[in-house]
Amino acid sequence: MLLGVIADDFTGATDIASFLVENGLSTVQLNGVPQEKVQVEAQAVVISLKSRSCEPSQAIEQSLQALAWLQHQGCRQFYFKYCSTFDSTAQGNIGPVTDALLAALGENQTVISPALPVNGRTVYQGYLFVFEQLLSESGMRHHPVTPMTDSNLLRLMEAQAQGRCGLVTAAEMDRGAEAVTEKLQLLAQQGVRYAVLDTLNERHLLTQGKALKNMKLVTGGSGLAIGLARQWAQPGHGSPQSAGAPQGEKAVVLSGSCSVMSNQQVARYRQQAPAMAIDVARCLTEPARAAYVTELAHWVQQQANTPLAPLLYATAEPEKLQQVQQQYGMAAASQAVESLFAGVVKQLRQHGFSRFIVAGGETSGVVTQALGIRGFHIGPCISPGVPWVRAIEQPVSLALKSGNFGDENFFARAQTEFPL
Ligand code: ADP
């Protein structure tokens, strides 16, 4: 195992895991730090935490546990992954977690590289941009939990960490990996603990990969993973995606997302495959819900021989959703739908279903939990940011799509483009 990644949230973990696989490393993503023994075979492991906006002390504790686990697996390099918009508050958690990881590893320098040029996140003179806007002038200034009102990464980092922050400029990046290494050494001699890396394009990320291969701890968004994975990748080791390729005969599509794209995807798929809408009124209380779960699972099984997998959907247009929420309460309604999906998934698994195509971020979490999945191999991409994944400990494949991901034909394509 070469690279161990500690990601501060679930979607960020999936994001970096896809980049690692695409750039040549077989990768497993784990949901949280494994408490019991798990067998993981991959070149990179990404542990997803929920440490972006919790108390700093909790974020540190979780991150150190993840580090200890990754060290135990023999990882040679460690990567603290946060959002490409440096989502944090004045208290953290990027600074405190970085300090704790440096101390635990006995290191005195790391880099700050949130850039992801392909998504418009670039860094120039230490300032972070979202496309043509400064971070503090982008929508991120109104973020409900981590509003970003400064764009200067050196200031942001120094405000929440213990040490000093320096800069490797775009001009130095242009001069190549050796120039970057020299600058990092110079900064280290001056006692600078964190080096912000200017990044304008993918070439700069590749330079960073070369310059940082021997740095014990790096920190950044998912872009830096492109450069590092290419350094670590060993050609001739087979396809890094193969361990995550979809498997299994019986498939089902479950949509619990009400996003615009999910509504379009459901509307399209209903014309292609058997589909059943979920009646929220029948999910609200037990024992009615249990009976409904069995009825729906039975319906899905009856459709198992159709060319495209059957669809169960709670997906609704905004007016319909609002009406349901007003009638039953928002929390009660979504809780009811989530419990229903959890129940249906468990029954289908018992009846041999092994491919689950799921729409909705929360809904994906519920399905993964109901199946008892602690981690998965990342497979080939269905749409940008949405790979097929295969559970590490059971023969189950999942396509987990949050909100607006994927195109209109996503549900069918997840099946037809990946024939068994
Ligand atoms: P997204 O990724 O689009 O945000 P999520 O699964 O994260 O999707 O969130 C959607 C939430 O809405 C879930 O909690 C789900 O149970 C709930 N939900 C879905 N359909 C309905 C519905 N018809 N009525 C009420 N709540 C619903």
Atom of ligand 1 nearest to the CA of 402: 2
State the average pLDDT over residues 297-322.
95
Expressed in angstroms and rounded, the spacing between residue 94 Cα and the centre of ligand 1 is 30
Q: Which residue, by CA, sits nearest to atom 20 of ligand 1?
A: 314
Residue predicted with more confidence, 53 or 203: 203
State the average pLDDT over residues 178-193.
98
| Pairwise CA distance, residues 59 & 92, whole Å | 9
Tell me the sheet residues that pair with 401. 359
Q: Which domains does the chain have, with CATH numbers?
A: 3-232 (3.40.50.10840), 241-416 (3.40.980.20)
Distance of CA 270 to CAs 14, 63, 264, Å? Answer: 28, 43, 10
Percent of the chain with pLDDT over 70: 100
Is 80 exceeded by the pLDDT of residue 237?
A: no
Q: Ligand 1 within 6 A of 24 CB? A: no
Which of the listed residues 10, 14, 255, 258 should we mutate to test ligand 1's pocket, taking the one with most ligand atoms within 8 A of CB?
A: 258
| Pairwise CA distance, residues 342 & 44, whole Å | 30
pLDDT for res 235: 79
| Pairwise CA distance, residues 200 & 179, whole Å | 17
| Pairwise CA distance, residues 87 & 94, whole Å | 8
Binning pLDDT at 50, 70 and 90, where does residue 405 land? confident
Start-to-end CA span in the chain (Å): 29
Mean pLDDT over all residues of the chain? 95
Of 222, 229, 221, 154, the residue nearest 193 (C-alpha): 154
Amino acid letter for position 304: A
Expressed in angstroms and rounded, the spacing between residue 420 Cα and the centre of ligand 1 is 30
Which range is most confident: 102-111, 230-239, 404-413?
102-111
Atom of ligand 1 nearest to the CA of 401: 2
Binning pLDDT at 50, 70 and 90, where does residue 197 land? very high
Of 380, 375, 416, the residue nearest 399 (C-alpha): 380
The DSSP code for 36 is: S
Binning pLDDT at 50, 70 and 90, where does residue 3 land? very high
The answer to whether 380 and 245 have CB atoms below 8 angstroms apart is yes
User: How many residues comprise the chain?
Assistant: 420
pLDDT, tens digit, for every residue of 90-119?
A: 889 999 999 999 999 999 999 999 999 999
The answer to whether 401 and 386 have CB atoms below 8 angstroms apart is yes
Rounded to 5 degrees, φ, ψ at 76 are -95, -25
Of 409, 52, 20, 96, the residue nearest 253 (C-alpha): 409
Rounded to 5 degrees, φ, ψ at 387 are -90, 160
Tell me the sheet residues that pair with 402. none
Question: Which distant-in-sequence residues (6+ apart) come within 8 Å of 222 by Cβ?
Answer: 12, 15, 16, 19, 81, 84, 116
Expressed in angstroms and rounded, the spacing between residue 147 Cα and the centre of ligand 1 is 25
| Pairwise CA distance, residues 212 & 184, whole Å | 10
Tell me the sheet residues that pair with 313. 255, 277
Q: Which residue, by CA, sits nearest to atom 13 of ligand 1?
A: 334
- Concatenating the DSSP letter of every residue in 84-122 gives TT---BTTBSHHHHHHHHHHHHT---EEEE--BGGGTEE
Binning pLDDT at 50, 70 and 90, where does residue 311 land? very high
State the average pLDDT over residues 217-227.
97
State the average pLDDT over residues 134-157.
93
Q: Which tokens belong to 312?
A: 């169960």
Of 90, 93, 105, the residue nearest 60 (C-alpha): 93
pLDDT for res 10: 84
Expressed in angstroms and rounded, the spacing between residue 34 Cα and the centre of ligand 1 is 28
Binning pLDDT at 50, 70 and 90, where does residue 234 land? confident
Expressed in angstroms and rounded, the spacing between residue 363 Cα and the centre of ligand 1 is 7
The answer to whether 397 and 355 have CB atoms below 8 angstroms apart is yes
Is 90 exceeded by the pLDDT of residue 304?
A: no
3-state SS class at 83: coil
pLDDT for res 25: 96
Q: Which residue, by CA, sits nearest to atom 4 of ligand 1?
A: 403
| Pairwise CA distance, residues 53 & 277, whole Å | 36
Expressed in angstroms and rounded, the spacing between residue 403 Cα and the centre of ligand 1 is 9
pLDDT, tens digit, for every residue of 17-69?
A: 999 999 999 999 999 999 888 888 999 999 999 899 899 999 999 999 999 99
Q: Is the peptide bond before 274 cis (omega within 30 degrees of 0)?
A: no
Which of the listed residues 253, 334, 335 should we mutate to test ligand 1's pocket, taking the one with most ligand atoms within 8 A of CB?
A: 334
Which range is most confident: 11-20, 34-43, 332-341?
332-341
State the average pLDDT over residues 386-413.
93
pLDDT for res 47: 97
- Concatenating the DSSP letter of every residue in 329-351 gives -HHHHHHHHHHHHHHHHHHHHHT
pLDDT for res 404: 81
pLDDT for res 148: 93
